[in-house]
Amino acid sequence: MFHTPQDHVPSTSPKWREARHTAAPAAFQSAALVRHWHREQEICEEEGINGYWYCVISGAVRKCIVQTNGRRRIVDLLLPGDFFGFAERDEHAFTVQAVTDDTILACYSRSRIEQLCDKDPSAAREMRQRAFATISRLQEQLLVVGSMTAIEKVRAFLVHMARRIPEGSEDGIVLPISRYDIADHLGISVETVSRAITELQESGSISLQGPRRFRFVWPAANA
């Protein structure tokens, strides 16, 4: 029931410096502590109330919870530009892990950011915008996860990923997570994920290049 894979993801190209400038807010640059994590490494959240906020600069992060029935649920999947750490105060004990090697995060001491926001209204505005972006992202995930059939869930997930992940140099979008992660993210079984992807491919909706790289086929000529 536990899916804790050690997947081999094509590690991110050396454009993390560029990503840093686009992903992390400039208003907090003075308060940022940039660290990087390797695959499956846990992002420390043991700071308690005076903890940290994070912004993904490159790589990917997943926020998991293991339920009493033993099933792992991936509540959130963080990509470059996404903030997290806002809601750690509630009773859920989330496990936050880096998904890919060379996951780089900007870490912000909560108290320092609070002070910065108190002094600088533009920083406070930036903070609000990031929080609102998180709300938008979670609402979209609710639409994805709440789809009725498995194919709808997977298709919506891929559409969501295609919007969030910038297309690389070669065409196609590279999924940052494994089939197991997708399953635990959507609340369906791994086999169903695999079958749904196969069916989307055979129906001409998507094209696959390896299990991780896909493209949407919009004209759908040969379908």
Contacts with its own copies by CB under 8 A lie at 65, 71, 73, 75-76, 86-87, 89-90, 92, 114, 117-119, 121, 124-125, 127-128, 131-132, 134-136, 138-143, 145-148, 185-188
Residue 8: name its binding partner from DNA, its own copies, none (Cβ under 5 to 8 Å by kind): DNA
Closest contact distance (angstroms) between CB of 20 and DNA is: 26
* Residue with Cβ nearer DNA (47 or 202): 202
CA distance 25 to 37: 20
**Site track 183-212 with DNA (rule: CB under 7 A), x = hit:** ----xxxxxxxxx-xx---------x--xx
Q: Does 97 bind DNA (CB under 7 A)?
A: no
* Residue with Cβ nearer its own copies (69 or 169): 69
Q: Does 150 bind DNA (CB under 7 A)?
A: yes
**Site track 2-41 with DNA (rule: CB under 7 A), x = hit:** -x-xxxx---------------------------------
Residue 13: name its binding partner from DNA, its own copies, none (Cβ under 5 to 8 Å by kind): none
Token pair belonging to 110: 């909560």
Closest contact distance (angstroms) between CB of 62 and its own copies is: 13
Q: Residue 206 contacts by C-beta under 8 Å, 6 or more apart in sequence?
A: 158, 197, 200, 214, 215, 216, 217
Q: Which residues bind DNA (CB under 7 A)?
A: 3, 5-8, 148-151, 178-180, 187-195, 197-198, 208, 211-212
